Amino acid sequence: MFDGKKIGEIGEGYREWADKLEPKLARRPERKADFINTSGIPIKRVYTPLDVADFDYMRELGLPGEYPFTRGVQPTMYRGRLWTMRQYAGFATAEDTNRRYRFLLEQGQTGLSVAFDLPTQIGYDSDHPLAQGEVGKVGVAIDSLKDMEILFDQIPLDKVSTSMTINAPAAVLLAMYIAVAERQGVSSKQLRGTIQNDVLKEYSARGTYIFPPQPSMRIITDIFSFCSQEVPQWNTISISGYHIREAGSTAVQEVAFTLADGIAYVEAAISAGLDVDEFAPRLSFFFNAHLDFFEEIAKFRAARRLWSKIMQERFKAKDSRSMMMRFHTQTAGCTLTAQQPKNNIVRVAFQALSAVLGGTQSLHTNSMDEAFCLPSEEAVQIALRTQQLIGYESGATETVDPLGGSYYIEELTREILDRAQNYIDKIDELGGAAAAIEKGFIQREIQDSAYRYQREIEKDERVVVGVNRFQVEEESAKDLLRVDPTVRLSQMERLKALRLERDNGRVKAILSELRRAAEGNENLMPLILDAVRAYATLGETCDALRDVFGEYQAVSTIGG
Amino acid sequence: MDDKRRIRVLAAKPGLDGHDRGIKVIANALMDAGMEVIYTGLRQSPEQIVEAAIQEDVDVIVLSILSGAHDFLFPRIMELLREKGVNDVLVIGGGIIPDEDIPSLKEIGIAEIFGPGTYTDDIVRYIKDNLKR
């Protein structure tokens, strides 16, 4: 970016400066011997044009909305439209959650994000024995289309976009969403939203898997194929680094393991006979916004550049939308402290700002109380206001990629990309993401990083304000939002009533048809949609698939 | 305790919760402190956990739940241990557990609850100081 003569001058100036500094440093050393970020990248004292002297602007950055999308996926970014402000929410019954959604929409939220309870995420109805103690706890309990109708009551599905954090049973919940829309008179072609549908990271980091990898990949590609025809505006997957990071990975590992999962999905869809440009434009991503402000901004930019190169060079995509990495971001839940919880408001604010400076398409900001309970209405409001402050007051939105060209950011972007690429090469050698997970490689890498991070805190090498520094005596939090333990009983009542009033013969016939189809290779989506319309429950539908596909058995990565 | 035998610990994830960062960090720390750790993996029923504790003849059970299901699953595990006559095993818990729930969990026999921000060294020390056999 600079001519040779100028670089020479800068180099000379830099050397003089460094020489002058030497004796001063001897007298007054810096705070630490080494400055290293979470990814293990050494951070220099200062970055200058010397660090980016060989930088090829058009190849590595380009312009916004153009390959390699380092500067953003849209040409005008937030000058055109702000990101979607989307708070992940759901608890207790569909009625309770529907009230929270309507509150959030009234407060100016621009998209919905559904949190399901664990039984729903693992394909069990609320009356399943393993659902005891879990119904309605970490999200809303959905057993059948009945619950879904209540969840979206008075919410026009042609107007909002909805993201659903659902993976192993994603096909069933998407089918329910389509069926609710039908009842509202909204065509599936008008629906906008996202299903997470990323089962690989369930095996490596999040834990809500049901089926083994192979049939899981088949369901996922069935969804890609079905949606490309029937739900064309839907994001068919949200390939997620968020949980990989929450499980303890570094920023580089987050990029690498997420993109490696992405590669596996693209390969699976191509081997299922789909054309890359038919499904790739609907792939979306989901990242974490962690503490190190600049490392995070560089991470988002590196991920975008690396994905565009993978899509163009490895998969020969032609449509530029196939190369465009669109992503959602959530601030890092694992960085919230139970100690002095109001400090979390500030943590969340700068994490959110890093996501905006990194060019996110949508954002969830955590609530200050989430280190110890479900967020209260007040805490959620502050979290949403944080986004609105960044969007409307901070000025960060007035130009595209405001930190583009920063010597530090550009060097860090390149370093993160290179290190992530090395990991992807290693995963390729192991046979791809699914094989690397089955060998326990990804899990071990994540857990080693998590352990290292914890040891750094305990050895006081990493400061956590309020935890290992600046502690105060505190009273414990009062009046926490709690889920009524009778939610399970009311869901069980509703299930009982449903099984009495629906056409059980029809449900049985569709489910056996589904079993038969699962044994072959036809697309499962149309049958799942039929099952849902006939009020087959989530558990019944997943059980039909369990009968054929079996269940995943995790590999152990602890001990010898 | 017999000093020839290393402290044996069952690290367990009851219920459907998939958050295993904490339990794995603790398992690693306990192993570094010289203990023998058996990790159950995810999605263990109370019955499976109690069965494993007896089979493996552990001195300590470490339970981790971040889903809020501790109010059902912890009491169930303690009840099963009592039914099986197991009363010399130290049981400790952790995860996202509101302070106001702690007294009732202690009443049913969970010796201590460790929340977010706890140092692993403190857990190691606690186990060594409070072993029941």
Closest partner residue to A130 (CB to CB) among B45, B100, B121 is B45
pLDDT in tens, A475-502: 887 778 888 889 999 999 999 999 999 9
The answer for A 372-391 residues in CB contact with B (under 8 A) is 372-374
Would you give the distance in Å from CA A78 to the centre of its chain? 21
The answer for A 329-348 residues in CB contact with B (under 8 A) is 334, 337-339
Quick check: B31 contacting A, CB < 8 Å? Answer: yes
Point out the least confidently predicted range of A412-426, A468-482, A490-504, B106-120.
A468-482
pLDDT, greater one: A371 or A451:
A451
* Average pLDDT of the segment spanning B9-14: 98
Residue A2: the pLDDT is 75
**How far is CA A2 from each of CA A5, A245, A303, A406, rounded to the nearest angstrom?**
8, 37, 26, 14
Fold classification of A57-458 (topology level): TIM Barrel (3.20.20)
Would you give the distance in Å from CA B45 to the centre of its chain? 14
Residue A68, preceding peptide bond in cis (omega within 30° of 0): yes
- Helix and strand numbers, DSSP H then E, in chain B: 5, 5
Point out the least confidently predicted range of A115-119, A483-487, B63-67.
A483-487
- In sequence order, the β-bridge partners of residue A289 are A331
* Average pLDDT of the segment spanning A143-162: 96
Residue A291: the pLDDT is 97
CA dihedral in degrees (B59, B64, B68, B73; nearest 10)? -30
Domains and CATH numbers, chain B: 8-130 (3.40.50.280)
Are A467 and B18 in contact (CB < 8 Å)? no
Tokens of A415: 């370093």
Are B98 and A458 in contact (CB < 8 Å)? no
Would you give the distance in Å from CA A329 to the centre of its chain? 6
pLDDT, greater one: A330 or A54:
A330
Residue A408 in this model has a pLDDT that exceeds 90: yes
ipTM for the assembly? 0.94
C-beta separation of A520 from B3 below 8 A: no
Are A133 and B15 in contact (CB < 8 Å)? yes
| Neighbour order of strands in the sheet with A84-85 | A84-85, A362-364, A327-331, A283-289, A237-240
Quick check: B11 contacting A, CB < 8 Å? Answer: yes
Residue A332: the pLDDT is 98
| 3 state DSSP class of A475 | coil
Are B116 and A246 in contact (CB < 8 Å)? no
Tokens of A390: 């960044």
* Average pLDDT of the segment spanning A464-468: 95
Q: How confident is the model at residue A1 (pLDDT cuts 50, 70, 90)?
A: low
Residue A207 in this model has a pLDDT that exceeds 60: yes
Residue A368 in this model has a pLDDT that exceeds 90: yes
Residue B3 in this model has a pLDDT that exceeds 70: no
The answer for B 91-120 residues in CB contact with A (under 8 A) is 96, 98-100, 115-117, 119-120
Residue A3: the pLDDT is 84
C-alpha dihedral sign at A252, A253, A255, A260 = positive
Burial degree of B68 (CB within 10 A; 0-12, 13-18, 19+): buried
C-beta separation of B97 from B64 below 8 A: no
* Average pLDDT of the segment spanning A92-102: 94
Size of interface A-B (CB pairs under 8 A): 121
Q: Which residues in chain B have their CB less than 8 angstroms from residue A206's CB?
A: 18
Q: How confident is the model at residue A360 (pLDDT cuts 50, 70, 90)?
A: very high
Closest partner residue to A338 (CB to CB) among B29, B100, B116 is B116
Q: Which long-range contacts (CB under 8 A, 24 or more apart) does A51-60 make?
A: A51/A407, A51/A410, A51/A411, A52/A1, A52/A407, A52/A410, A52/A411, A53/A1, A53/A2, A53/A7, A55/A1, A55/A410, A57/A1, A60/A305, A60/A410, A60/A414
Quick check: B130 contacting A, CB < 8 Å? Answer: no
CA distance A479 to chain B (A): 10
* Average pLDDT of the segment spanning A491-518: 98
The rounded distance, in Å, linking the Cα atoms of A207 and B42 is 7
* Average pLDDT of the segment spanning A440-456: 97
Residue B4 in this model has a pLDDT that exceeds 70: no
| Residue of chain A minimizing CA distance to B94 | A372
Residue A560: the pLDDT is 56
Closest CA relative to residue B37, chosen from B59, B20, B17, B15: B59
The widest CA-to-CA distance across chain A, in whole angstroms, is 87
C-beta separation of A199 from A209 below 8 A: yes
Quick check: B34 contacting A, CB < 8 Å? Answer: no
CA distance B48 to chain A (A): 12
* Average pLDDT of the segment spanning A360-385: 92
CB atoms within 10 A of CB A520: 8
- In sequence order, the β-bridge partners of residue A286 are A240, A328
The rounded distance, in Å, linking the Cα atoms of A494 and B66 is 27
The answer for A 435-494 residues in CB contact with B (under 8 A) is 447, 450-451, 454, 457-458, 464, 467, 476-478, 480, 482-483, 485
Mean of the per-residue pLDDT values for chain A? Answer: 96
Are B68 and A208 in contact (CB < 8 Å)? no
Closest partner residue to B25 (CB to CB) among A138, A373, A451 is A451
C-beta separation of A367 from A383 below 8 A: yes
Q: How many residues does chain A have?
A: 560
Quick check: B19 contacting A, CB < 8 Å? Answer: yes
CA distance A126 to chain B (A): 13
pLDDT in tens, A32-63: 999 999 999 999 999 999 999 998 999 999 99
Q: Which residues in chain A have their CB less than 8 angstroms from residue B28's CB?
A: 447, 451, 558
Q: How confident is the model at residue A539 (pLDDT cuts 50, 70, 90)?
A: very high
| Residue of chain B minimizing CA distance to A202 | B18
Residue B133: the pLDDT is 82
pLDDT, greater one: A331 or A1:
A331
* Average pLDDT of the segment spanning A320-333: 98
| Residue of chain A minimizing CA distance to B119 | A458
Q: Which residues in chain A have their CB less than 8 angstroms from residue B31's CB?
A: 559
Residue A326 in this model has a pLDDT that exceeds 60: yes
Residue A422 in this model has a pLDDT that exceeds 70: yes
